[in-house]
Structure 1
């Protein structure tokens, strides 16, 4: 049976590395592939909403965050968030370097350069907003998840997942649109788009919850672990687990 005691942090995990890789992969793809396309849907009350296609996939990273915190504890998810932070930052630097390199002669290369600039040539504000918002929102999501687990004595997993995602996504959406677009877009547009994105991303938790439940129970059984963060140092600047 899974233990609720404070296990050694040297506990051998069979699946943590795999989940970490999946987490960073989803994060990078949603920021690099999905962010390049704007799409539109019609929502009740909100009407027509334009949003980045990456929003459809980005919330999966929060689902992984909930799973990591619930099974392995806050420290392991904090490490995953830092890995994601580093991956996004490196991707941004690499994009800037590649786009800045001289283009070889030829119509194809010229056309390709324009495409790369369109997809990957984000402004410094968008890059900063993306990195800061993810780091802050991801850690808030994990913190709330861990604290609610202690408060509820491990019960009401659905409430912990919804509550932590709502808090994390609120920070994420608010920071990103304020940093990236405040003063560029009208303030009303910044607020309305941020609200729409927040609703879309948070709704993912409800859709994915049946899968999350099964995966969490599977991991707890296989890893023989059900971690409670009673004595955890919640500093966001630590990497040690």
Structure 2
């Protein structure tokens, strides 16, 4: 039996919106993780070097040092690129601003939790941290004492970087969406790899310099961090993001090919000269 056109259209619309919600959810989830776990820990990923580079560098591997919050961040650019490809620039920018509002909500909840009085002696023992000496955090905050609340420590650590990450996030994500569509229009929908990597590599550099510069700028000006330390943080973080961006080239080709069929959207229809005979791409 042939289904009425209206029913098929509504089912297709539901499918498209469901995929949009999944992409937006992954994007916002990755952003929330970035701000919550942020700079709570720095990790080192050894990158093996080929012989001639190892002899020049003086070691067999290059230590890639980055904040643990950076790990899920490349997913955000993959999601915005897919949203841009199938749903357009306006909806991609909409998701970016929703992500910003979620970050504000997360920070508001953390501020409220910090502002309310603690439970004191009735609190579980794991809520306190004994510090051997004063601990200097980004953002000019210094914590000290025999009993510092774990949440208080995490709050100051997160608050120090959340403003930086919000500024960097908004700038980088809007830059990513704009550059993606710039390359898409310039190449008339061809060369997906160029708009995917070109937009991500540029926006990741903007994000990395902004977030590290704002987060650790105060410590750098006080002399607590050297220029070498800042460059290592920028280099390690950007190298990880750049490698992740290059590695997602094949997955994005696979996803675009599959989603084009699943959503019945031709992402480059406007560049083919749409004539009204096929489904018009979703706005």
Pairwise TM-score range, normalised by the shorter structure: 0.7 to 0.9
Separation of aligned partners in 1, 2:247 and 2:67:
19
**Is 1:21 matched with 2:25?**
yes
Change (3 A) 1:103 1:48: same
Change (3 A) 1:18 1:41: closer
Which position in structure 1 is the counterpart of 2:176? 141
Please give the residue correspondences for 1:149-228 in structure 2 after superposition, counting only pairs within 5 Å. 149-185=184-220, 186-227=226-267
Gaps of at least 5 residues in structure 1 are 1-10, 231-240
Separation of aligned partners in 1, 2:218 and 2:21:
41
Match of 1:103 among 118, 121, 124: 118
Q: Is residue 127–residue 150 contact of structure 2 (8 Å, CA) maintained in 1?
A: yes
2:46 partner SS: strand
TM-score where L is the length of structure 2: 0.70
Q: Is residue 149–residue 155 contact of structure 1 (8 Å, CA) maintained in 2?
A: yes
Q: Is residue 145–residue 160 contact of structure 1 (8 Å, CA) maintained in 2?
A: yes
Give the greater-gyration-radius structure (CA).
Answer: 2
Match of 1:118 among 125, 133, 153: 153
1:221 partner SS: helix
CA drift at 1:59: 0.8
Separation of aligned partners in 2, 1:229 and 1:100:
53
Q: Is residue 64–residue 240 contact of structure 2 (8 Å, CA) maintained in 1?
A: no
**Is 1:55 matched with 2:70?**
yes
CA drift at 1:36: 2.2
Q: Is residue 72–residue 225 contact of structure 1 (8 Å, CA) maintained in 2?
A: no
- Bigger mean CA deviation after superposition, 56-65 or 209-218: 209-218
Report the number of matched residues.
221
Which position in structure 2 is the counterpart of 1:86? 101
- Bigger mean CA deviation after superposition, 154-163 or 112-121: 112-121
**Is 1:129 matched with 2:164?**
yes
Which position in structure 2 is the counterpart of 1:5? none
Separation of aligned partners in 1, 2:39 and 2:228:
22
1:50 partner SS: strand
Which position in structure 1 is the counterpart of 2:43? 39
Gaps of at least 5 residues in structure 2 are 1-11, 50-56, 129-148, 221-225, 271-282
Q: Is residue 36–residue 120 contact of structure 1 (8 Å, CA) maintained in 2?
A: no
TM-score where L is the length of structure 1: 0.82
Q: Is residue 146–residue 229 contact of structure 1 (8 Å, CA) maintained in 2?
A: no
Separation of aligned partners in 2, 1:223 and 1:169:
29
